[in-house]
Amino acid sequence: MKLKPISLAIFCALSMATMPGHAENQTAPLDNDSQQDNLNIEKIEVRGRYVQGYNAHSVGGASRLDLAIIDIPQSVSVITDAQLDDFQLNDINSALDSATGINVERIETDRTYYTARGFDITNFQIDGVGLPLTSGNNHADEDTAIYDRIEVIRGANGLMTGVGNPSATVNFIRKRPTSDNQLKLQASYGSFNNARVEADASGRLNDNFAARVVAVKQQKDSYLDRYETDKSVLYAFIEANLSDDTSLSVSHSYINNDATGNNWGALPLYYTDGSPTNYDRSTNTSANWSNWQVIKNNTVVELSHYFADDWRLRATYSHKSTDEDTELFYVYGTPDRETGLGLTGYGSEYDLDESHDLVDLYVDGEFSLFGRDHQLVAGVNYAKVDYIDTSLYDYTTGNGFPAMPDLNDWDGNTPKPVFADSPRGSDVSAKQQAAYFTGRFNLFDGFHFIAGGRFNKWQAEGVSYDKVQDVEDSQFIPYLGAVYRITPELVAYASYTETFKSQTEMDIDDNLLAPVTGESKEIGFKSELFDGRLIASLAYFDIQQVNLAVPDPRTADLPPTDQRYIGADGINSKGYEFEVAGEVFDGLNLSLGFTDFDIDGNDDNAKIVAAYTPSRLLKFAATYDVAAIEGLSVGMNMRWQDDIYRDQGVVGDGFANAGEAIITRQGAYAIVDLMARYQFNDNLQLSLNANNVTDEKYLNSLYWAQAFYGAPANYSATITWKL
């Protein structure tokens, strides 16, 4: 007899619910028959603990092995549901702002890049399944209401992703039906007319069926002129126990994010004389007709079957589609310091249709060898992505490229272009086929060795904005890791893994360059403190890009279309991270992460990345249940980064400082958020949140040569009712 996860949860809940009554009835002695019956009952010993707050339990996204964080030979962070709720982290940007080592590059209102350890994060998974982002960035406002937690595995994650950068993998773990019936209703209102309602219901329909439904509606204005968003989210998860050993689930999520007044590009950062601009935080380059609608649908079917001896088969099919319709207005040029003139508008219509199909099938379980127990995972994966996007312009009416006034006086009022000229775009299809395996071997007391690999075959074909995307690569990606338990509370670990990314550049013999490989090495220590309530880790990492395409000097004088490339070392990133997460003592939960690293390399791109990437990041979140006032909790969420800059060229002729370097700088800054929550009773609570309480004015990013300012101080109140 074995208990499945749901059955085990129900068993534990029933046991705790009935234990007091059972104890009260132990006054009468048992007769001999009853004593014999008790001896024949199968004994089940349940071990484990559930720690609420900021202490996560385990992570499976790094290897498919369901391991405690302390047993994973890589840096891992988990943003728990408690942290998401405490600080109203309702979108993935604000959630990842709080993750150790992650830098959120808000280049526009509705387009965001993410970096870790100096490399773009392109691998975003849902329950361990996913493909790299098509364009390397995320569009629109992704809501966190449907997720139970967010796992971040830093460094390369070759086993589960293969294709991508050696930065990090973000794994979103979706909410599933709970063991008991639950209902949560939440409503909030805040600065900039930010109104949000959320419902989360979970119930067991009968012994074999359970469901969970989440719905969100949010409408808000913005501190930015003309920018407004209207978001709708609907998520449903149905789970069926087909037998004692087999379960099937079907889920679907729908996100509709409709933005108006969104920017495309951002503010110019310097004047013609090289001095920095300093616009009001509300300044927005959008036109009054700008809009960007993104609709995302994701359907997932999962089948899980348990065999004898605790082996499991799990199969997942996911279909995800994205439909984007936009009308955009871009502003480019360099303004005059005295007049603010010199800028030009640029209108475009952009549409995208994208679909992902993924199939993942694996088995995992335990086996005995040489008198010791070991774990094994083996699986296959197939994924396909198709995307078609088109861009239209207006070169004929005179409205497509209007001369701009001073942005300080810009109200977004410009005639809407007729988007009918020069259609350009992409029509690309890509496939990934993979087989992977991982073994966790118990070699001797306290020492576990993890060895595995992934064979990846990547194919793509099509054209993207006149550039052929045809490529085909196959590569084996190794994974090696070791964990040694020095004491019951302290482990040392080391790991090595890789990722690869296809390249479309050709060498001088007109052959495609081999993929660029990201090699990630990491060593560190992890410790469980305070009876496992707190986990601390210290890691040193060294990541190297190998075979990155750089221009071949032998073709430097040829036109761009005829230039060829060679493979060279790219970005090298090395540094350390320190993280603590969990409960320090009763009532105090915290998450603290510090990252310090350096970026170097031989090419100009490495220098640009090193300039705009903060080399030191500090993330801190803590909540405290005030003992003197029952029901009151207070907390702080803070992120700090050191200074960054971007080289924008040199001052042109006609100025006294002609030829002087133009450097845009963003000094070090901290953003501090505060919260307070009062629990009136078991069902009702009120939360107050204050963001950027110091009213810091800062540029969101220097990832691009343009940028816009972050939000000023803002506030919200949230009332929550639970049943």
pLDDT in tens, 689-701: 999 999 999 999 9
**7 — pLDDT class (breaks 50, 70, 90):** very low
**d(Cα 571, Cα 542) in Å, to the nearest integer?**
11
Cβ within 8 Å of residue 704, ≥6 positions away: 107, 265, 266
Say what the pLDDT of residue 380 is: 94
**224 — pLDDT class (breaks 50, 70, 90):** very high
Say what the pLDDT of residue 161 is: 65
Q: Which of 44-48, 116-120, 586-590, 667-671 has the lowest mean pLDDT?
A: 44-48
Helices (runs of H) and strands (runs of E) counted in the chain = 5, 37
Q: Which of 9-23, 227-241, 415-429 has the lowest mean pLDDT?
A: 9-23
Q: Which phi and psi angles does 666 have, rounded to 5°? A: -125, 115
pLDDT at 27 over 50: no
pLDDT at 37 over 70: no
Closest CA to 616 of 118, 120, 154: 118
Per-range mean pLDDT, top range of 66-70, 552-556, 616-620? 616-620
**d(Cα 101, Cα 83) in Å, to the nearest integer?**
17
> Averaged over 403-418, what is the pLDDT?
96
Residue 524's beta-bridge partner residues?
493, 539
pLDDT at 211 over 80: yes
Q: Which of 149-163, 345-359, 573-587 has the lowest mean pLDDT?
A: 149-163
> Averaged over 524-532, what is the pLDDT?
92
Say what the pLDDT of residue 663 is: 97
Q: 3-state class of 85 per DSSP?
A: helix
> Regarding beta strands 467-468 and 490-501, do their DSSP bridges make them parallel or antiparallel, or are they unpaired?
unpaired
Closest CA to 590 of 531, 630, 635, 639: 635
pLDDT at 50 over 50: no
pLDDT digits (tens, 9 = 90+) for 447-475: 999 998 889 888 889 988 888 888 888 88
Residue 595 Cα to chain centre, angstroms: 17
**122 — pLDDT class (breaks 50, 70, 90):** confident
Q: Which of 43-52, 360-369, 507-516, 566-575 has the lowest mean pLDDT?
A: 43-52
Say what the pLDDT of residue 47 is: 34
**513 — pLDDT class (breaks 50, 70, 90):** confident
- Residue 129 DSSP code: B
How is residue 386 written in tokens?
């198709």
Say what the pLDDT of residue 62 is: 56
CA dihedral 469, 472, 476, 479 (to 10 degrees): 20
pLDDT at 93 over 80: yes
Instruction: For each of the domains in the chain, give its residue range(s) and CATH number, in order of start.
Output: 51-722 (2.40.170.20)
Mean pLDDT, rounded, of the chain: 88
Cα dihedral sign, 340-342-345-346? negative
- The pTM assigned to this predicted structure is 0.89
Per-range mean pLDDT, top range of 37-46, 69-78, 606-615, 616-625? 616-625
Closest CA to 639 of 604, 701, 593: 593
> What beta strand segments (E) does 419-533 contain?
421-444, 447-464, 467-468, 471-487, 490-501, 516-529
